[in-house]
Amino acid sequence: MSARLTVWAPDVAFPEVRPGDDLAALICDLLAADGAATGDPVAEGDVVVVTSKIVSKAEGRVVRAADREQAITDETVRVVATRERPGGLPPLRIVENRLGLVMAAAGVDASNTPEGTVLLLPEDPDASASGVRAALRARFGLDRIGVVVTDTAGRPWRDGLTDIAIGAAGVAATDDLRGGVDAHGRPLSVTVTAVVDEVAAASELVRGKADGRPVAVVRGLARYVRAGDGPDADGPGARSLVRPSVDDLFREGSAEAYARGLADGRAEVPGGRAR
């Protein structure tokens, strides 16, 4: 097992991405320029990490800022929790979106977008990752390469945001240690590590938010990276990290669940029949 990881964001300007751009080609150009400048080109076993923002921009997932609330509604599969906000702002909505991700505002984002617009998440980030992976394999003649598409998300119970993987291809989404044993020969109680989320978090540390560095490379995780092409090599993607609803103990916000219970309780009459 490798015990050293190198993570870098190429120090090469990335162009402003426009709808219809061949994003995979732009990423390959960036990595080629970085490799030429540093003498250390992308290599077998590397994972290339790409922000969802540039994927969305290339896909033209831009809507007018005035349509932001409608865009959130359109992206929403299920409302999880809402909260009123002061100052006449529309309520905060934490929802499950089309991708199965539970996020504030469905992941609709207003930073690093052209004035007067907001950005929706990519249509299918796992497929986008697969496309970038195929381009990297062809352009650099590599076999074993992984791609992760990231977004920034909040977490219940903890302040601050971290990057997570919303798309992945050619890299194991998880490291399943079930069946493994610890140094004492006892079964590992920590069973499944969300590898691609940890990759996304590591990449954020070199990319930053305001610096126009939408691409990073992670070296040292070849044990998680797959060779070959096609769906088997791409693997299950980041979608596989979405927890099934049957295992979700936080499917509704506390206030929402309480309100539903209260209404159900009020509707009952002693003896069990509804009023």
Interaction mask 4-33, a second copy, x per CB under 8 A = xxxxxxxx----x-----------------
Distance CA 110, CA 68 (A): 9
In this structure, what DSSP letter does residue 170 have? Answer: S
User: Quick one: which segment of 23-31, 56-64, 140-148, 253-261 binds a second copy (CB under 8 A)?
Assistant: 253-261
Residues 6+ apart with CB under 8 A from 213: 9, 10, 14, 206, 207
Number of residues counted as binding a second copy (CB under 8 A): 99
Distance CA 143, CA 11 (A): 25
What is the closest distance, in whole angstroms, from the C-beta atom of residue 138 to a second copy in the complex?
A: 26
User: In 20-44, which positions are buried (b, 16+ CB within 10 angstroms) versus exposed (e)?
Assistant: ebebbebbbebbbebbeeeeeebee
Interaction mask 93-112, a second copy, x per CB under 8 A = -x-x----xx------xxxx
**Contacts with a second copy in 31-60 (CB under 8 A)?**
none
Judged by CB under 8 A, the residue of 87, 88, 89, 115 near a second copy is 115
Residue 153 to residues 51, 58, 200, Cα–Cα distance (Å): 12, 21, 11
What is the closest distance, in whole angstroms, from the C-beta atom of residue 122 to a second copy in the complex?
A: 17
Asked if residue 129 binds a second copy (CB under 8 A), the reply is no
- Closer CB to a second copy, residue 25 or residue 250? 250
Judged by CB under 8 A, the residue of 24, 173, 225, 233 near a second copy is 173
